[in-house]
Amino acid sequence: MNTIAMLDLLKVVNDKYVGFNTANTGVRPAEVANGIFKTILNVGYVTNPLARFTHAIWDDGTYHEDYDLINMKSLLSKSGAMSKQGISDAQLSKLRVTLQDALSTGDDSGLNKANQDKITVSFNAGSAQFMPSYGINEDAGEFIASLIKDYCPDLSKYISGLLRDINDPITLACLPLLPARSIAMGKTSKYKKIEIFAHPNERLDYFIDTLVESSICLEKVLSIISNKFAQLRIFVSFCIFEILRYMSQLAYFYDKSDRCSLFIDCTKNSNLGVVNVSGMSFSQVTRMLNTFYSWGLSQILDDLGFTKEDLISAETPVLKLNRTGRSRPNHEPNIIWKTAKEVMKELSEDDARFEAGQAISDIMAFDSTYYPMNYFSKIGTSLGLVYPRDNLPADRHLELSSELLEMLISCCIKPDEVIDKQMLLERLYYRFSIVIVDETIDRSLINSFGDLVYVDSDDLGANYNAFFEMLDRIGITSHLSCGVLRICLGGKNVK
């Protein structure tokens, strides 16, 4: 009998229909940012000397003998950065700790000892020379940045200018350890091979149009913010959010569902009705992702020539053929596959393949490392959109961190615009599918999240008020006596 290797199928789905690998919940924001910046610049750098200076401890806790003070002093002397009598051992050690603290992304435990020749440390810095030519988990960043380069050239050029500017304190402090020669990263615009971009429709056009509108607004807002690192932080948040928005609409792009909306809990988990709707909204996103992958897997099964009879006779799918190492009980996957095969017997060829795709997606959920829905949750949690911030799926819902809220507002209001509350909410919905409504909203939008939505008008009004209180609290807005909303971005007031 045939045995289906699920990860092989998932890779083909991602290559053909998505554009980046979603079978990886180990992805970190710093890695996505590296992919973004290197694609914007189309270059990378060999950052090993800096990594060795600032990260002297392997991930297993041992000290690397080649990174001791003698070797580091030799490295600095050869580069002309330090004379032999210029700095004491104590001062050098303190400098290393200071730079490590300044450059740490917050999720580096040290250098990967199993991969000594390809150091993959990510740096929390804002210049091109900090972008390592070799990296992992960068493909989602490369994907969204290639879209921005092609469709949002003004924003791309602006970010490129920021990255090429070396006149910031961190870059100047590290300059002796930074490489001068760049390495070309090859062609971008790989997204053009993706099925929906090769054969676009009005649904994808809508996504691109709103991406462009947001980028125009964002570029103007960034230009009035004096802090370079704040500008880059907001830009990376924008890119990661657009990755999430793209994923949430995959089933919509391929005409397998309606457009997903994101109902935001602004009460910070204090209103049960609002939290319930927000949780249903998150569940809708995961359902639509599951629908997309079920369909995508069925298409690849068709491409590979699987018939209904082939699937009915197949054994329970496995992650990898001839997989060694860890194993786990497969009782539940066996039940899922057995049930699906019984259903397939009564279906047409196409419907049977979809049923098989759905079963494969459900089976993959038992290994959280490779489950695409967990990829969405992981980067959504890192961004400050998906709460609570732990690995437990219970009570998952959607909120906005202050940093994420700042980015969204920066994409909705230009520095010279006058805007009222309703217009702001309409733009959030139009550009980002974000739903924040008052008690006057048509209930059909709320009911679209599911049949078990319990929220009354007072709950919606409380959430609406809480949103604008958030804006006031973090200093983004103030209110004028005439009722017009004043937006404060980059230290400037916008009436």
Low-confidence ranges of the chain (pLDDT < 50): 108-110, 112-119, 325, 452, 490-495
How does pLDDT run across 362-375, given as a tens digit for each residue?
A: 999 887 788 999 99
Amino acid letter for position 3: T
pLDDT of residue 391: 59
Please tell me the distance from the alpha carbon of residue 390 to that of residue 388, in angstroms, as a whole number.
6
DSSP per residue over 422-450, as a string? HHHHHHHHHHH-EE---TTS-HHHHHTT-
> Over the stretch 100-129, which tens digit does the pLDDT of each residue have?
777 776 654 445 444 444 445 667 677 888
Single-letter code of the amino acid located at 240: I
Q: What are phi and psi of 43, to 5 degrees?
A: -145, 160
Question: Which alpha helices (DSSP H) does 104-227 contain, by range?
Answer: 139-151, 153-164, 169-174, 195-198, 202-222
Global confidence as pTM: 0.89
Phi/psi of residue 377, nearest 5 degrees: -65, -40
Which residue type sits at 18?
V
Strand order in the sheet with 477-479: 477-479, 485-489, 492-494
Helix, strand, coil tally for the chain in percent (to 5): 55, 5, 35
Cα dihedral sign, 124-182-44-107? negative
Pairwise CA distance, residues 212 & 191, whole Å = 16
Neighbours of 98 (CB within 10 A): 12
> What's residue 422's pLDDT?
86
Q: What is the pLDDT of residue 136?
A: 81
At residue 63, the pLDDT reads 55
